[in-house]
Amino acid sequence: MVPQTQKALVVPELKAPWELRSDQPIPEPGANEVRMKVMATSLNLADWKVQMGLIPFVKTYPFIGGLDAAGFVDEVGENVKNVVKGDRIMCQGGWDPKHATFQEYFLTPADLVIKMPENLSFDEATTIPLVLATAVVPMWSKSEMGHTGMPAPWEDGGDNFKGQPALITGGSSSVGQMAIQLARMQGFSPIITTSSPKHTEHLQSLGATHVLDRALSEADALAAIRTITGNAGVPFAYDAIGAPQTTRVCYAALADGGAAALMAMSLACIEDLKREGDGKRTVHPYGSFEMRGARELGREVAARLPGWIAEGAIRPTRFEVLRGGLNGVVEGLERMARNEVSGMKLVVHPPETT
C-alpha cells in the first residue's frame, strides 16, 4: 500500500537552502498520467540554478527539484494504455512539485514515458531523458521555441546530411555526448568536438571523429575546423557549453545557410560575426517535449529509444552514485557548480534517503 506522504528535497523560498521534508503529499495520477516510484534520479545544473534564483520562470515556492528519473510504474490514471503497474520506465521531470523527481513518487505524462530495455539499469536510464530532449528538440522538432529545420533520420530528407561535417562544442558534457550520438545517427561525418583530451577515447567511441582540445584559442579552434572540413564550414553545430568562446566558435564555423543550437542565453557575443545574407540560423535548446510543436517528436522518440538503446545506437552517460539518497543532492550540486564533475552524471537513489 502506498503511503500518504513522502520524502522530498525542497527549496522553501527564493534562494533558501535545500531542505529535506518527510511530509510531502504523494500525488494521485489524473487522466493520461503515470505515477512513478523513483529508483534513481540524476542531478542537473538547472537544479542548482533554481536554488540560486537564476531560472526566472520559477516563481512558485516551495519548489521541488529534479528533472530526470527512472523507476517503476506505481499507478496509472484513466485512459493510460501504453504502460501498466510494475513496468520499468524512465522520463523527464518537470518544474512544478507533482512532476519533480527529487522525491519518492511523482507524476508524468503517459505519452512521453519511455519503457526501459532489459539491458539498462535504473542508474543508466536516469542519465538519458533530459539530455536527450535538450539535444533532440532543437535538432528534429518543429517547436515554437525554434528549431534547425533538420528532418529526423526516419523522415524524408533525414539522410541528406550523410558525409557532411558537424561540430559539437563541449563534447564531454552529458548534452554534448548525446548530441554526438545523434549526429552520428543522422549520418554526419566528420563529427568534430571539443573537450578535455582525457575524454578523447570515450568520445570517439560515441561517434566523434576529431576531438579538439577545449583549451585551444578561438582562432586556433577555427583553424583546426577549417583544416578538417577543407574550409567548407559545417551545416550543423551544437554548443553544449554556452560560454562566449564556444558560442562564437560554433557560429563562425557554420557554412552559409547552416544552423546552430546555441546554449548561450545572450547572443550578443556573436554580433560582430554576423554577415547580411549568409543565411545562418540559430536556435536556443529547450529541453522539453511538452512545448507546442515538440510533443509529436517526443512520442516518436519515446517509441524508438528502447530499440536505439538495445542496439547500442544511443548509450547512457557514465555516472557516479552519491550516497545517502536525496541527502546527497546538495553536495553533488555544489560539486557541479564548482566544475568538479566532468564527463559524467551524478545519480542518487531516493529510496535510500533516511
Q: In whole angstroms, give the CA distance from residue 288 to residue 117.
A: 22
Separation of alpha carbons 349 and 40, rounded Å: 5
Residue 55: per-residue pLDDT:
87
Predicted pLDDT of residue 54: 87
Alpha-carbon distance of 76 to 8, in angstroms, equals 21
User: What is the structure's pLDDT at 28?
Assistant: 96
The number of residues in the chain equals 354
Q: Residue 145 to residues 148, 174, 232, 294: CA-CA distances in angstroms?
A: 11, 22, 29, 9
Under a CB-based contact definition with an 8 Å cutoff, are residues 286 and 145 in contact?
yes
pLDDT at 145: 74
Phi, psi of 83 (to 5 degrees): -140, 160
Per-residue pLDDT of the chain (354 residues; tens, 9 = 90+): 668 899 999 999 999 999 999 999 999 999 999 999 999 999 999 999 999 988 888 888 999 999 999 999 999 999 999 999 999 999 999 999 999 999 999 999 999 999 999 999 999 999 999 999 999 999 998 887 778 889 999 999 998 999 999 999 999 999 999 999 999 999 999 999 999 999 999 999 999 999 999 999 999 999 999 999 999 999 999 999 999 999 999 999 999 999 999 998 789 999 999 999 999 999 998 889 998 889 999 999 999 999 999 999 999 999 999 999 999 999 999 999 999 999 999 999 999 999
pLDDT at 1: 67
In sign, the C-alpha dihedral spanning 192, 193, 194, 196 is: negative
Q: Of 343, 327, 329, 296, nearest to 137 (Cα)?
A: 296
Q: Give me the domains of the chain, ranges plus CATH numbers.
A: 5-128+316-352 (3.90.180.10), 132-283 (3.40.50.720)
Spatial distance between the Cα atoms of 150 and 127, rounded to a whole number of angstroms: 25
Contact (CB, 8 A) for 36 and 45:
no
Q: How far apart are CA 104 and CA 7, in angstroms?
A: 6
Residue 248 near residue 260 (C-beta atoms within 8 A): no
Q: What's the pLDDT at 303?
A: 96
Question: Cβ(236)–Cβ(188) under 8 Å?
Answer: yes
Rounded to whole angstroms, the Cα distance separating 115 from 123 reads: 14
Q: Measured in whole angstroms, how far is the alpha carbon of residue 274 from the centre of its chain?
A: 28
With CA atoms as reference, report the closest residue to 240 among 292, 181, 198: 181
Question: What is the rounded CA–CA span in Å between residue 273 and residue 253?
Answer: 10
Report the pLDDT value the prediction gives residue 122, as an integer from 0 to 100. 98
